[in-house]
Structures are given as structure tokens and as C-alpha cells.
Amino acid sequence: QLDDLPDLVLERDQAVSKLETAVTKAILATYKYHSKQGDLDKAEQGDKSTIPEKLRPTHRESKLPIPLPCVGHKVDSIQFYHERIQELNKNIQEKQKEAPNLGQCNSAFIEFYNQIAAHMAAQSLIHEESMQMAPRNIAIAPSDVIWENMNIKSFERLVRRFLSILITSAIIIFWAVPVVFVQAIANLEKLSKILPFLDGINYLGTTVVGIIQGILPAVALSILISLVPVVFTFLSKNEGIPQHSFVELSFIDVVLVSTISGGFFSMINELKNLIQNPIGIINVLSENLPQASTFFITFVMLQSTNQSGQAIAQLVPYILSYVKPIFATTPRDIYNQKNTCPDVNL
């Protein structure tokens, strides 16, 4: 148990980033200043006196968790972060010396000389009591570990799992509320009778009403569905799952497996009839498609034509590749943006 050591390391990394930003701003401002003065040779010497006092970056330092304008005393950013990094380095070294006296964590990493020995240990009964020395995972990459979940006890992980199931069930039940509202937009005429203040939309013209009823609900439902992986991944991570890959696998178990299996079992009788009479699928479609809502047909068409296009075009990463360099202020930021590969979400 590392106590507050990870927080100190994180605070030091943030201070280093802010110091690099302040130094970069000071260098650029000083270069422009001496370029106008015509004495660039003096600026290239790198003397401290070459940076005019008015060009040195400053910021307000206060004890509030959220920085507010005009709150706190103004300090020199370069000097402040230099001193803060030195102080944090000293504290981190002291904490590292105290590591042998710290409490033990609830997880351990064990190395084996042979791969088969690791598999045998992972599959064997290690302890006579249930939930002791469990779960056991093999072939773990350090980048795949969720370090904040490594100190969670088995019973606490079980409680978290139970709470996650309750929240997931509540989301599934109440998820119909926004979906029904989005679907209601597809029929403005009936919706305006229930909500009279929407009656004015019906007089905006055929084109506008067609866009609102035909395209807007499908796009809104697509946005709602895109939130599902974010919500369930967050719940899976807070269950105490120790690996990122297992978090994604848990999401697949919750969403995809239940959806596919539920739809499959509900269609068993229909599948039997279609296997015996394959041509009958034409009659089934001709009878059921006219009864289906135009809203859901539009949604399915949008999803089927949009997903492949998004995967090929990679529109969002392409736009961000032009937006991120605008906010890159330090050489480290520019290097990371040009040489770091994006994460792949399985």
C-alpha cells in the first residue's frame, strides 16, 4: 500500500508539464521581444537577465481546489514550479525509503520459470476457503493493469459486482424513457396534441418537419446508444476488475451476449419455419415491414450505412489531428501527438 506516493508522483508530473509550458512561453515571448529590439545575439546567450520581468509568465496561486480569476497571490510561474518540483522530489524520495514499512497490498505478482507452471498454479486450488487468493490471472501486461483496483479485497469486489448489477438493471429498465421520447419526435402531429407548445413546429414547412421527423430521431438515438459503452465500461471498471481487457470483455458479456441470445431465443420458432420453407421469408418481410415504425427503419438504415463509413473515414481522429497541434505548447506535447499511436478499443 503506497499511501499517498502515487498522488505525489502525479502532482510532480503535472508540475513538470506546467513548468515546460511556462518556459516555452517565456522563450517565445523573449525571442519576439529581442527580435524587435534587434539584439537576438543577447537572447541566444540564454542569460536570465535577457528575459524582461514583464515577459516572465505568472499565475495566481490559491488553496482553492479550482483556480478562479483574481483569487490568490500572483507568483512567478517558472520559479514557483522549480521550487515545487524540488519539494515534491524530496517528499517522493522519503516515501520511497518508507516502502519496506508500508502495509501489504491485497494483490501480488508471481513469476515462474516455466509457462506451464504458471498455468498449473492459476488452475489449481490454492486455498481451502472460497474467495481466498482469487481471482488468478496469467499473462498480464503492465499497461493492461488497472492499478487502483489491485488493493480491492475479494469480498469488496463481490459487493461492487452486486451493486453494478443493480445499477445495470435500473439503467436497462429506465433506458426506455429517453428512447420513447426520441421515438415520439418521429410523429410530431400526435406529440403536439400531448404537448401543445410544439404545435408551431408543424408550420415550419414540409422540408423542416421531414428532417425533424425522419433524421433527427435516428441521430438522437444513435447518440444515446453511443453512451452505452461509456456507461457500462465505467461500471465494469468500478467493479474492481484488475485488467482493461477484462473490462471490455465484461462489457461484451453484459450487452452483446444478452442482446444476441435474447433475440436468438425469441426467433427460434420463426427460424424453424424458415428452414423448412426458405421462400417464406419473403412473405414474412412483406407482412411485418409495413407494420414496423418508419423511425426504426430509418434508424437501422442510418446505422448500417454510417458505421462502415465512420470506420473507414476516421473523421474524428482526422479532425483532432488538426485541432490538437493548436493547443500543443511544449516540445513534449508536439512529440507525443506526432509519435504516439491512438489507443485501440477492442
52-105 pLDDT per residue, tens: 778 888 888 877 767 667 777 888 888 999 999 999 999 999 888 887 777 777
In a domain, 106, yes or no: no
Nearest to 178 by CA among 147, 217, 145: 217
Domain total for the chain?
2
Reported for 325-334, long-range contacts at CB under 8 A and 24+ positions apart, including other chains, are 329/21, 329/24, 329/25, 330/17, 330/20, 330/21, 330/24, 331/20, 331/24, 332/17, 332/20
Q: Which of 276, 294, 326 represents a domain boundary (last residue)?
A: 276
- For 135, the grid coordinates are 481471482
Spatial separation of the C-alpha atoms in residues 110 and 117, rounded to whole Å = 11
Three-state secondary structure call for residue 296: helix
In a domain, 305, yes or no: no
In a domain, 246, yes or no: yes
Q: Which of 45, 73, 101 represents a domain boundary (last residue)?
A: 101
Kindly state whether residues 168 and 271 are assigned to the same domain. Answer: yes
Kindly state whether residues 97 and 156 are assigned to the same domain. Answer: no
In a domain, 194, yes or no: yes
Q: Is 251 exposed, middle or buried (0-12, 13-18, 19+ CB in 10 A)?
A: buried
- Per-residue pLDDT tens digits of the chain, which is 346 residues long: 666 788 889 999 999 999 999 888 888 888 887 777 776 666 556 555 567 778 888 888 877 767 667 777 888 888 999 999 999 999 999 888 887 777 777 788 888 888 888 888 888 877 777 767 777 888 788 888 888 888 888 888 889 989 988 988 888 788 777 877 777 766 666 666 676 766 666 666 777 767 777 677 777 777 787 788 888 888 888 888 888 888 888 877 776 666 665 555 556 666 666 677 767 666 766 666 555 556 566 666 666 666 677 777 777 777 877 888 888 888 888 888 877 776 655 5
DSSP string, 75-141: EEHHHHHHHHHHHHHHHHHHHHHTGGGSPPPS------SSHHHHHHHHHS---SSTTSS-----S--
Provide CB contacts within 8 A for 253, sequence distance 6+.
none
In a domain, 256, yes or no: yes
Answer for the pair 232, 257: CB distance below 8 angstroms, yes or no: no
Cα angle: 253, vertex 256, 261; to 5 degrees: 95
Nearest to 188 by CA among 155, 153, 216, 229: 216
Q: Which of 236, 259, 276 represents a domain boundary (last residue)?
A: 276
What is the H or E stretch that residue 164 is in?
helix 154-174
In a domain, 271, yes or no: yes
In a domain, 341, yes or no: no
Cα angle: 58, vertex 60, 65; to 5 degrees: 140
In a domain, 84, yes or no: yes
Answer for the pair 137, 110: CB distance below 8 angstroms, yes or no: no
Range of the domain at 88: 4-101
Spatial separation of the C-alpha atoms in residues 17 and 84, rounded to whole Å = 12
10-53 pLDDT per residue, tens: 999 999 999 999 888 888 888 887 777 776 666 556 555 567 77
Omega into 135 within 30° of 0, i.e. cis?
Answer: yes
